Structure 1
Amino acid sequence: MRPYKACSCRDPETGRLLGKKCPDLAKRRHGKWYARYEAPKVNGKRRQPRIGPFDTETECKAALIEVLGQSGKAGREYDRKITLGEYLEKRHAWRVAEAETGDGLKRSTLATDREIIDLYLKPGLGHLKMVDQLGQDQIRELYTAIRQINRDPEGKRPSEMLRRLLEARASRDGERYSKRPVSESRIKRVHIVLNAALNDAVKVSKIIPENPAAGIFRSKGGAGRKGRAKPLLWTDERVAEWERTGKIPAKVMVWTAAQCGAFLDFAEGDRLYPLWHLAAYWGMRRGELVGLDWPDLSLERRRLHVRQSQPDDELDDVKTEDSDRIVIFDEPTGEVLRAWRKRQLEERVAWGEAWTDTGRVFTREDGQALRPESVSQHFARLVRRYASIRRHHAKGWTPEMIVNRARVSMHEVTMALAGPPLPPVRLHDLRHGSATMLLAAGVPMKVVSEVLGHASESFTSDVYAVVAEELAEDAAARIAAFVPRRNRG
């Protein structure tokens, strides 16, 4: 187990590697230092891993002492040759096996992890040995390269790591994965997967003594961003600034009650209006709406059981245990859903044998399940259509001209022109709006938390209390302005 010196020179006649027999090893800067040690047997076979190369004998001895100390720990099989990619594959296989028994992670979580391993971790760092080669510098370089994906390189050639990441995206399923820049939240998700794997490598597999990814993630601004993005209300002042500059104040924006009502009035003739209604009034997530089955909905008792979700292309369990909940809805919502049930039955009769019986509440006209992303895209089109009608009218178009030229219904034109400006929000922001309007209406925090399927009242309060108060203030101001008083200026 003593350190030895070796090089990569070859015999000029035989071509064989000289290694420890090279005559030039006596020279000061020729060759590197290595060592072998006795490792725990695997399947009864003797193992003598080699460590190195090191520039000096002192470095080699220090590394050998560390290895001997670690390999002597109970239950440890110290494999210094395993790469990060190999370990990620082993760990993912274990997690898949656990999921198949019903005790592991949800399929959607495993699919996300698989995607992150294939697109980022293996192309970027998978070739590195977990011992000696994988460190903070390499991990930071990966995050830097990810931030450069699909951004203008300004004439610079991509780094080797960025090139590998781009190749991985181009080869996934035979087409380019995405043309959009990678968001900070996505990078944080990559970090979560890597950090968890390296924690397992330290505590469970005992391959490395410490986690090189611990504490190094930083968001785009430098310091790590704490908490989640809190919603802002689309007040009159913010709407006016958006109309003037096109700038959206924050990532998460919430409509006022008047704005939300204007959208629902506008979308009442849309086929998926009942879905928008449930999202706006009862804060159901997109995947929960798409995954809702008729057996989990009672129109007579006005109850629906949120117990499954379709966040992507496959049906899965709800997001958390607290998301599994019963929602008791109001009678007007019941009327909307009964009308939808009747319409779906009519579509089933019209399609005949071509109808696909998925059992879902919300489907396409032929009965097939909706795609979550398509639902979001359809919602965004409706919001844009509302805005375009108002722009056409501002240019002098009559309602009849808008109907004929923009190919919209007279109902949509009437509602868009009668309502307030409708600034952009995401479909998921209807859930945020539902929470804030419930709170502003005086519904207890505990009830709102249960309706939304939150883990605790404190979470609901932390995210929504401020905007709910702002919404209440906005409503109070509108009421004061609505009631005329002779003796008030």
Structure 2
Amino acid sequence: MKPFKACSCRDPETKKLLGKQCPNISKKGHGGWYARYEAPKSADGKRRQPRIGPFDTERECKAELARVLGTAAQPKAHDERKTTFGEYLERRYAWRRSEAETGEGLKKSTLDAEREAIDLYGKPGLGHIKVVDLTDEHFRELYAAMRKLNRPDEKDDRSEILRRLKEARATRDGRRLHSRPISEGRIRRVHAVLHGALTDAVKLSKIRPDNPTDGVWRSKGGKRKQGRAKPLLWTSERVEAWEKTGTVPAKVMVWTSEQTGAFLDFAEATEERLYPAFHLDAYYGPRRGELVGAEEKDLSLERKRLHILQAQSDDELDDTKTEAGYRQIPLDDESVRVLRAWHKQKLRERLQWGETYRDAGRVFCYEDGSALKAEYLSSRFRILLDRYANIRAKAAEGWPADRIARKFRTTEAAVAAALQRPLPPIRFHDLRHGAATMLLAAGVPIKFVSEILGHASVAFTMDVYAVVADEMAEDATRRIAAFIPRQNRLSAVGASTVPSGG
């Protein structure tokens, strides 16, 4: 197993390779360094002594020999020596998909996310490299290239790995599949897929003795991983600052109860078809996938209950996010009224569509009865917020209400609702955060709130929402104190301080 030097020169008479016997082998730059090692016997019991090389220096040869000897004890290591990372990723994905088809494996949404990580990053970036040749440097280079995608410094980097990633993410007419920079969270998720694949390569497939991705991950700039983003309340002070600068103070923002009411009043007045879905989300906070996945058979308006038993992931029904997601949501009288009106509207639509009506059996659906796509709810939410802001902008320019209503094809009642107060931006999912906050601020027991939201534990609900719920309660008391006139307060206080009998 000691490294040796050999070349490809041949004897001029016999034409046989000279190898180690070449008279010029001692000359600098002639030949290369090789080594042989004892590998596990073949299936028929024959001895195997594979050769590695050539290498430019003896040191390189020794380093490779030491690495190979670490895998030589495993019979499969040599057989899999030529397996590329891309081939192994595909093989592993096929295993995991077959497990999912039996009902024992991963959710479809998880498999889809893994498929994306493989197609957009794993295979384009490192798929051509043999599994046994992967090092931690390969993964550091991959993540560095991912951070440059869709950023200004991308144009200055001409590295091959970045070029392959860009090609993988390209689509028709040269437009990117994704046009936003890659977040640290997405890189973490891709890392989880690649790390898991190499863990299987070590423990299950026995291709290599170690996982080169262990200890690779570090947040951008060496920062520690940020904790869960906690919501902030859109207080009057923050709204005022936002109107002046356009800056949103945090990623997760929550409306006050008045702001939520203003949005729902506007959505109802503008005759938004999916207003009942927004109403239910603002009141009880079901997840978006749970809303579009809710079935008619699980809604009882007589008992005032909605059972959450599933969620729609992409275009298919799936389990809820966690086991705690299986739950009942109690409905108040106003929500029942809204949902009864919604049922009547769906009956009218069924009659209008006739035989072409496609009843998906969902609580919320398109006009033809087919199942909603989850993103459609978010899209309608963004449209409503944009319309709300545009109405206020036209009113600030002096437009009368009737002209604004015609401009945006809405009702004058919707215009009046939009002019009541400014409505700062939030995401559709933040309606869920708002529902949790308002329930806590209203004094609903935290265990009950946790169950309504489908959280795994009360501690999680308390950790995320307790602070902003207190802030909402304090904000309400300040506004109540400001609303109630107390003109005699100062004189009353002054009179109480004057000594009697003067």
TM over 0.5: yes
> Structure 1 residues 373, 54: closer, same or farther in 2, change over 3 A?
same
Contact 1:286 1:311 in 2 (8 A): no
- Match of 1:247, SS? coil
Matched AA of 1:407: R
Matched AA of 2:307: H
- Pairs within 5 Å for 1:290-369: 290-369=292-371
Contact 1:302 1:328 in 2 (8 A): yes
Contact 1:49 1:80 in 2 (8 A): no
- Match of 1:26, SS? coil
- Match of 1:262, SS? helix
Gaps of 5+ in 2: 491-502
Q: Are positions 1:377 and 2:348 aligned together?
A: no
Matched AA of 1:241: A
Q: Are positions 1:398 and 2:400 aligned together?
A: yes
Compare CA radii of gyration and give the structure with the larger one: 2
Q: How many Å apart are 1:174 and its aligned residue?
A: 10
> Structure 1 residues 89, 25: closer, same or farther in 2, change over 3 A?
farther
- Match of 1:464, SS? helix
Residue deviations 1:23-82, cap 9 Å, x none? 654333344433344444676586655444544435534543554354336997773332
Instruction: Tell me which residue corresponds to 1:442.
Output: 443
Distance 1:333 1:18 in 2: 90
Distance 1:121 1:18 in 2: 43
Contact 1:70 1:78 in 2 (8 A): no
Matched AA of 2:316: E
Instruction: Tell me which residue corresponds to 2:264.
Output: 264
Instruction: Tell me which residue corresponds to 2:113.
Output: 112
- Match of 1:304, SS? strand
Which deviates more from structure 2 when the two are superposed, residues 294-303 or residues 37-46? 37-46
Residue deviations 1:351-405, cap 9 Å, x none? 0011111111111111121121222111001011111111111111111121122
Instruction: Tell me which residue corresponds to 1:161.
Output: 161
Contact 1:5 1:25 in 2 (8 A): yes
Residue deviations 1:446-481, cap 9 Å, x none? 211111111111111121111111111111211222
> Structure 1 residues 50, 82: closer, same or farther in 2, change over 3 A?
farther
Q: Are positions 1:288 and 2:290 aligned together?
A: yes
- Match of 2:307, SS? strand
Distance 1:92 1:234 in 2: 44
Contact 1:217 1:224 in 2 (8 A): no
> Structure 1 residues 456, 17: closer, same or farther in 2, change over 3 A?
farther
Distance 1:174 1:280 in 2: 40
Matched AA of 1:414: A
- Match of 2:220, SS? coil
Q: Are positions 1:187 and 2:187 aligned together?
A: yes
Matched AA of 2:476: A
Distance 1:117 1:9 in 2: 44
Instruction: Tell me which residue corresponds to 2:237.
Output: 237
Instruction: Tell me which residue corresponds to 2:209.
Output: 209
Instruction: Tell me which residue corresponds to 2:222.
Output: 222
Distance 1:449 1:244 in 2: 37
Distance 1:436 1:216 in 2: 38
- Match of 2:131, SS? coil
> Structure 1 residues 287, 22: closer, same or farther in 2, change over 3 A?
farther
Distance 1:369 1:11 in 2: 78
Matched AA of 1:204: L
Residue deviations 1:63-106, cap 9 Å, x none? 43554354336997773332221221121111111111111100
Instruction: Tell me which residue corresponds to 1:411.
Output: 413
Matched AA of 1:64: L
Q: How many Å apart are 1:266 and its aligned residue?
A: 0.5
- Match of 1:131, SS? helix
Instruction: Tell me which residue corresponds to 2:69.
Output: 68
Which deviates more from structure 2 when the two are superposed, residues 43-52 or residues 467-476? 43-52
Q: How many Å apart are 1:293 and its aligned residue?
A: 1.1
Instruction: Tell me which residue corresponds to 2:100.
Output: 99
Matched AA of 1:152: P
Contact 2:39 2:72 in 1 (8 A): yes
Matched AA of 1:391: A
Contact 1:51 1:80 in 2 (8 A): no
Superposition RMSD on alpha carbons, in Å?
3.0
- Match of 1:170, SS? coil
Distance 2:442 2:43 in 1: 68
Matched AA of 1:282: Y
> Structure 1 residues 79, 388: closer, same or farther in 2, change over 3 A?
same
Distance 2:36 2:273 in 1: 71
Distance 1:45 1:397 in 2: 91
Instruction: Tell me which residue corresponds to 1:145.
Output: 145
Distance 1:18 1:332 in 2: 93
